[in-house]
Amino acid sequence: MRRPRLWTLREDRSGSGPITEAECTTCLEGSGAADGGRGPAVWCLAHAQATGHTGFRRIRTDFFRASCGSP
Ligand SMILES: [Zn+2]
Protein backbone atom coordinates (compact mmCIF):
# COMPACT_ATOMS: atom_id res chain seq x y z
CA MET A 1 0.00 0.00 0.00
CA ARG A 2 1.34 3.37 -0.98
CA ARG A 3 1.80 5.97 1.68
CA PRO A 4 -0.32 9.05 1.16
CA ARG A 5 1.69 11.79 -0.45
CA LEU A 6 2.29 14.93 1.47
CA TRP A 7 1.00 18.17 0.07
CA THR A 8 2.56 21.38 1.25
CA LEU A 9 1.80 25.02 0.69
CA ARG A 10 4.62 27.41 -0.08
CA GLU A 11 4.98 30.98 -1.11
CA ASP A 12 4.83 31.10 -4.90
CA ARG A 13 7.89 32.88 -6.23
CA SER A 14 7.39 31.85 -9.85
CA GLY A 15 5.28 34.87 -10.75
CA SER A 16 5.33 38.35 -9.34
CA GLY A 17 6.03 39.06 -5.71
CA PRO A 18 3.36 40.34 -3.34
CA ILE A 19 0.99 42.91 -4.82
CA THR A 20 0.07 46.01 -2.87
CA GLU A 21 -2.85 48.30 -3.57
CA ALA A 22 -4.33 51.23 -1.65
CA GLU A 23 -7.93 52.31 -1.68
CA CYS A 24 -9.47 55.50 -0.33
CA THR A 25 -12.13 54.70 2.28
CA THR A 26 -13.99 57.93 1.49
CA CYS A 27 -14.45 57.77 -2.30
CA LEU A 28 -13.17 54.24 -3.07
CA GLU A 29 -10.70 55.46 -5.65
CA GLY A 30 -7.69 53.17 -5.82
CA SER A 31 -3.99 53.35 -6.51
CA GLY A 32 -3.98 50.32 -8.80
CA ALA A 33 -1.90 47.27 -8.07
CA ALA A 34 1.84 47.61 -7.66
CA ASP A 35 4.73 45.26 -6.96
CA GLY A 36 5.95 47.34 -4.06
CA GLY A 37 4.27 49.40 -1.35
CA ARG A 38 5.93 52.65 -2.36
CA GLY A 39 3.73 53.47 -5.36
CA PRO A 40 0.47 53.08 -3.41
CA ALA A 41 1.88 55.11 -0.50
CA VAL A 42 2.81 57.95 -2.83
CA TRP A 43 -0.66 57.72 -4.40
CA CYS A 44 -2.27 58.05 -0.90
CA LEU A 45 -0.28 61.18 -0.14
CA ALA A 46 -1.13 62.74 -3.50
CA HIS A 47 -4.79 61.77 -3.08
CA ALA A 48 -4.93 63.23 0.43
CA GLN A 49 -3.39 66.44 -0.81
CA ALA A 50 -5.76 66.70 -3.77
CA THR A 51 -9.01 65.70 -2.05
CA GLY A 52 -8.58 66.06 1.71
CA HIS A 53 -9.47 62.37 2.09
CA THR A 54 -7.29 60.88 4.79
CA GLY A 55 -8.48 57.27 5.29
CA PHE A 56 -7.04 54.44 3.21
CA ARG A 57 -7.23 50.71 3.08
CA ARG A 58 -4.14 48.75 2.10
CA ILE A 59 -4.75 45.52 0.23
CA ARG A 60 -1.82 43.16 0.08
CA THR A 61 -2.05 40.05 -2.02
CA ASP A 62 0.50 37.28 -1.97
CA PHE A 63 0.53 33.98 -3.73
CA PHE A 64 0.87 30.40 -2.57
CA ARG A 65 1.31 27.19 -4.45
CA ALA A 66 0.49 23.70 -3.32
CA SER A 67 2.99 21.02 -4.24
CA CYS A 68 3.27 17.36 -3.62
CA GLY A 69 6.67 16.25 -2.39
CA SER A 70 7.94 12.90 -1.28
CA PRO A 71 6.98 12.07 2.30
ZN1 LIG B 1 -10.77 59.67 -1.89
Q: Is the pLDDT of residue 14 over 80?
A: yes
Count of C-beta atoms within a 10 Å radius of residue 61: 10
Q: What pLDDT is recorded for position 70?
A: 61
Domain that holds residue 45: 16-62
Look at residue 37 and tell me if it is in a domain. Answer: yes
The total of structural domains in the chain comes to 1
* pLDDT tens, position by position, 26-61: 999 999 999 877 899 999 999 999 999 999 999 999
Measured in Å, residue 62 CA sits from the centre of ligand 1 at 25
Residue 16 has pLDDT above 90, yes or no: no
Higher per-residue confidence, 17 vs 2? 17
Separation of 18 CA from ligand 1 center, angstroms?
Answer: 24
Residue 56 in any domain: the answer is yes
- 34 Cα–ligand 1 center, Å: 18
The pTM of this model reads: 0.73
Examine the pLDDT at 4 and tell me if it is beyond 80.
Answer: no
Query: Does any domain span residue 48?
Result: yes
Ligand 1 centre to CA of 63 (Å) is: 28
Assess if residue 51 is contained within a domain.
yes
67 is a domain residue = no
Q: How far apart are CA 10 and CA 4, in angstroms?
A: 19
35 in a structural domain:
yes
